[in-house]
């Protein structure tokens, strides 16, 4: 009897995204989906050259959205004469769009700090896995450009609650944490039975049964405050594909919520917002943008200042205005103090 084939160890999401950005920066011509799935760290471990890779392809589509969400200019190049065929399309990140603008300069002290940061990234950017991936790309005839050092992608690290919640999932135990819901004056203790951890639009979410209400709820990991405490006894978890259902629910919310924005042309806001998944561009800087969480989007849009004007929906307008007013109050000069 032949030994049972073991599943490959999971690759951390930030490592997979880093490897994808590195591979797409390393070639001017771009890579096909098949070349990416068969060679890039995080995909190739699960790639089946003779079987069905539909799950892996869906992972790649979500990763593309996450990378673009972070402001990385990932391009899709369609094959002439075969438009719409995503199997023959090629993907790349043009260095000219990813590099810093030519008019940006740094002081000697800033340059020293950046060099130190680059040294810290250098080992990871040409790690054994990265070198192996580049060699494999060259072996199948893909021309890769050198050097690839210095292109440290802006990948958001996992939230502090990720590891303990992942541990709770694998051990099938409960988890307790303080959760600060928008609009609440303080964080509230939640005890849950974890069902799945999923990444949606660049943010990690926990699907779990909330013991306080006895029903499934979805929690944003960035709103968990303090340490996560795990229970000692195992709990029964009903069978089901909770990760798929959680992503489907989040996608439904994302599809229903659309922000109408006026974005100043030529600004950082235009570059970042216009490249979002599902963004629709209109005349004179008008952008229609899907979103999942009104508070998270309001935080981001307020940070763009005068580069963005929100036209709707009204709850998003109010949320952005409240954040701008809070910023004004925090910077106001106290009475009796001369400027």
pLDDT tens per residue, range 196-245: 888 887 788 999 999 999 899 999 998 999 899 999 888 888 888 888 88
32-41, 54-63, 74-83, 289-298: least confident range? 74-83
Q: Is the pLDDT of residue 266 over 80?
A: yes
Q: Is the pLDDT of residue 142 over 50?
A: no
pLDDT given at position 151: 41
Report domain extents, the chain: 13-139, 162-243, 257-331
Place of tokens 């209400």: 213
pLDDT given at position 159: 73
pLDDT given at position 335: 52
pLDDT given at position 284: 78
CATH of domain 257-331: 3.30.70
* Rounded Cα distance, 86 and 66, in Å: 18
* Rounded Cα distance, 172 and 299, in Å: 35
Per CATH, is 162-243 categorized as 1.10.490? no
Q: What is the distance in angstroms between the CA of the first residue and the CA of the last residue of the chain? A: 83
pLDDT given at position 3: 47
pLDDT given at position 261: 94
pLDDT given at position 330: 79
pLDDT given at position 314: 95
Peptide bond into 170 cis (omega under 30): no
Nearest to 155 by CA among 54, 60, 18: 18
DSSP structural state of residue 101: P
Mean pLDDT of the chain: 78
* Rounded Cα distance, 66 and 89, in Å: 19
DSSP string, 147-169: --TT----PPPPPTTHHHHHHHH
Sequence-distant (≥ 6) Cβ neighbours of residue 194 within 8 angstroms: 165, 168, 169, 174, 175, 206, 207, 208
* Rounded Cα distance, 253 and 10, in Å: 28
Peptide bond into 26 cis (omega under 30): no
- Encode pLDDT of 300-320 as tens digits: 899 898 999 999 999 999 999
Kindly tell me the number of DSSP H helices and DSSP E strands found in the chain: 11, 12
- Encode pLDDT of 79-109 as tens digits: 666 656 666 788 888 876 666 665 666 666 6
Average pLDDT over residues 141-160: 48
3-state DSSP of 254-295: HHHCEEEEEECCCCHHHHHHHCCCCCEECHHHEEEEECCCHH
pLDDT given at position 2: 44
pLDDT given at position 185: 84
| Residues of the chain above pLDDT 90, percent | 22
Residue pair 18/153 in contact by the 8 Å Cβ criterion? yes
Say which residue, 251 or 68, is predicted with more confidence. Answer: 251
């Amino acid at each position: 009897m032949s030994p049972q084939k073991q599943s490959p160890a999971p690759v951390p999401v930030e490592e997979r995204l880093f490897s994808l950005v590195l591979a797409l920066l390393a070639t001017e011509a771009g890579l096909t989906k098949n070349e990416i799935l068969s060679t890039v760290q995080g995909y190739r471990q699960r790639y089946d050259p003779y079987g069905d890779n539909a799950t892996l392809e869906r992972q790649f589509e979500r990763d593309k959205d996450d990378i673009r969400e972070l402001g990385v200019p990932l391009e899709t190049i369609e094959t002439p004469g075969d438009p719409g065929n995503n199997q023959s399309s090629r993907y790349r990140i043009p260095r000219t769009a990813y590099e810093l603008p030519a008019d940006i300069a740094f002081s000697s002290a800033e340059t020293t700090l950046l060099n130190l940061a680059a040294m810290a990234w250098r080992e990871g950017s040409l790690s054994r896995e990265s070198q192996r991936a580049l060699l494999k790309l060259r072996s199948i005839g893909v021309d890769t450009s050198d050097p690839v050092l210095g292109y440290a992608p802006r990948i958001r690290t996992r939230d502090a609650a990720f590891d303990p919640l992942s541990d709770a999932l694998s051990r099938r135990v409960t988890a307790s944490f303080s959760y600060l819901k928008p609009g609440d004056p303080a964080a509230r203790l939640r005890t849950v039975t974890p069902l799945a951890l999923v990444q949606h639009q660049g943010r990690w979410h926990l699907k779990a049964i909330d013991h306080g209400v006895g029903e499934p709820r979805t929690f944003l990991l960035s709103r968990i405050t303090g340490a996560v405490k795990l229970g000692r006894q195992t709990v029964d978890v009903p069978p089901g594909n909770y990760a798929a259902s959680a992503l489907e629910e989040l996608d439904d919310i994302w599809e229903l919520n659309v922000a109408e924005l006026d974005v100043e042309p030529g600004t950082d806001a235009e570059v970042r917002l216009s490249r979002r998944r599902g963004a629709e561009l209109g005349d004179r800087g008008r952008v229609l943008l899907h979103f999942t969480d009104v508070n998270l989007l309001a935080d981001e849009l307020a940070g763009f200042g005068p580069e963005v004007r929100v036209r709707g929906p009204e709850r998003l307008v109010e949320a952005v205005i409240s954040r701008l007013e809070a910023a004004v109050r925090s910077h106001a000069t106290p009475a009796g103090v001369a400027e």
